[in-house]
Amino acid sequence: MSISSIFIAQQDNHTALRARSAEQRIRQLQALGIELIKRKKDICRAQNKELKTCEMDTEAQLMMLKIELEFISKNLAKWMKPRKVKNSQATMGKKCYIQYEPKGSMLNISTWNAPIAINILPIVGALAAGNSAIVKPSELAPHTATVTHEIISTVFSSNQCAVIEGGPETAQELLKQPFDHIYYTGGHRVGRIVMKAAAENFADITLEMGGKNPAIVDSTADVNNAALKLAWGRMANAGQVCIGPDYILVDKTIEQKFIEEAKAALIRFYNPHGDGFEKSAEFPRLITDGHFQRVKGLIDEAISKGATLEFGGQNDASQRYISPTILSRVNDDMAIMQEEVFGPVMVVIGCEDAEKKLSIIKRQHKPLALYIFSKDRRAINFFLQNTSAGSTVVNHNLIQSGTNPHLPFGGIRHSGTGRIGGFQSFLEFSNPRSVVEAPLGWRDININFPPYSKIYKKLVGKMLS
Ligand code: NAD
């Protein structure tokens, strides 16, 4: 079936999808959950072929999906009900409520770094809200794309939800269709293409992008704990995590201790027996040769400009492998501070005080995530008050995404727009239609119709005095 015929078939199905009860929608979400678990081994195998992802890390993505599916299933009937709101003087005597209706057709252009989660998670909210959906997985994760395709076509008919595999040309073709909502995960270059295509049809958009996420470690922080957690957060998925801590602003007084603790943590995680980081089954590879060359280039350029290689730096192009690496003495002139690293490199910058840390953060775009490690309430408040980010975690990292459906997930400006997660997923793909209903048989007095009466003028005059 061609892209346009799938799109049209979905449009023709919208009236029926919209009429589906909460119970019917929940049954399908549950079937999706069952199918995902049934295909767990295939999903693990697929992601292992792509990034050398270990089973536990793929299972963590399945956990995120399970949490979202269960939370939405539990609450959907309540969310779908019209929500009564208070009256105002102008709507007195009438019934005012919000009726959530599906937007229509949703497109999910997905990426490769957590492919099963990013292929599926956004469509959970879209389908729950009564929309149709098309998923375009990343061509860089082709094995997961195929499994996703099989799972979706087992659970849904293509006039409700379909997977269309392919690369940029396929995405371009899809973007020509008048979708009601386009959801995109990936980098800025394509984000701009998606935003422009959406503008052609005034489609709503969610952009889930990345950027440079700062982590702040001040002198009151538990250095050992901060280094352990940040080493974990930075090296998860070999640094290919959108909310990973991209650069670490450490108080100069504790910088060396922090680096030593981070080194110890990396050895503990990935080389506990000393037989080599490359032997760790839990340390993935970079996704393509191009990504490998880009990250290696960032490390080489930073060192050539004066950065210190504190740890790691080994690599093997044939395996797309870069060992967990720590760089210090990094500055803004280096490319590594001008683009998202998205690789296994811990960038450590020693700072004299909070103002210096703030000035470095302010020179970057608003990040998807910002992390604060401190025991000082005033310092925590200072950074919360003076920075902006899609999300923040205090004294940890990476735990804010996909773990608590009460917390909306998304970015701000260059790191993205829109939010998903739990109720926010339902809301993102719904039109909250405002309805004002007069009681049946009601007759309005209509004092606000021309020619304006004295009583109406008096009333308005009183309100504005
Ligand atoms: P990408 O932008 O290269 O590709 C993403 C999708 O865009 C793919 O499906 C691809 O086929 C499509 N695409 C590529 N070229 C296109 C074109 N010319 N026209 C239309 N579509 C096109 O992905 P990437 O940049 O390698 O992804 C990594 C980025 O994604 C990082 O910046 C990361 O931070 C971000 N990310 C964000 C989140 C989040 O939730 N905020 C999650 C994961 C990754």
Same domain, 94 and 177: yes
Tokens of 246: 């991209």
Ligand 1 probe mutation, 116, 136, 190, most atoms within 8 A of CB: 190
**Measured from the CB, is residue 136 less than 6 Å from ligand 1?**
yes
**Measured from the CB, is residue 208 less than 6 Å from ligand 1?**
yes
Q: Which pLDDT tens digit goes with each residue over 93-109?
A: 999 999 999 999 999 99
Q: What is the pLDDT of residue 447?
A: 86
Q: Which pLDDT tens digit goes with each residue over 332-363?
A: 999 999 999 999 999 999 999 999 999 999 99
Atom of ligand 1 nearest to the CA of 139: 11
Atom of ligand 1 nearest to the CA of 111: 5
Does residue 444 sit within a domain? Answer: no
Q: What is the pLDDT of residue 442?
A: 83
Same domain, 270 and 376: yes
Same domain, 186 and 239: no
Does residue 449 sit within a domain? Answer: no
Q: What is the pLDDT of residue 225?
A: 98
Tokens of 391: 């999300």
Which structural domain range is residue 386 located in? 214-394
Same domain, 148 and 291: no
Q: Could you tell me the CATH number of the domain that includes residue 342?
A: 3.40.309.10
Q: Which of 44, 161, 242, 351 is catalytic?
A: 242
**Measured from the CB, is residue 343 less than 6 Å from ligand 1?**
no
Query: What's the pTM?
Result: 0.96
User: How many domains does one find in the chain?
Assistant: 2
Same domain, 46 and 96: yes
Same domain, 276 and 203: no
Does residue 65 sit within a domain? Answer: yes
Other C-beta atoms closer than 10 Å to the C-beta of 338 total 11
**Domain-ending residue, one of 333, 368, 394:** 394
CA of 75 to the centre of ligand 1 (A): 31
Q: What residues form DSSP beta bridges with 409?
A: 420
Does residue 455 sit within a domain? Answer: no
Q: What is the pLDDT of residue 443?
A: 85
Does residue 459 sit within a domain? Answer: no
Q: What is the pLDDT of residue 194?
A: 98
> In whole angstroms, what is the distance from residue 258 CA to residue 250 CA?
8
> In whole angstroms, what is the distance from residue 432 CA to residue 218 CA?
43
Does residue 438 sit within a domain? Answer: no
Q: Could you tell me the CATH number of the domain that includes residue 186?
A: 3.40.605.10
**Measured from the CB, is residue 7 less than 6 Å from ligand 1?**
no
Other C-beta atoms closer than 10 Å to the C-beta of 40 total 14
Find the helix packing angle between 115-128 and 40-51, rounded to 10°.
130
Q: Given the structure tokens 């005095």, which residue do they identify?
A: 465
**Measured from the CB, is residue 186 less than 6 Å from ligand 1?**
yes
208 is catalytic: yes
- Name residues of the chain where pLDDT drops below 50: none
Same domain, 204 and 224: no
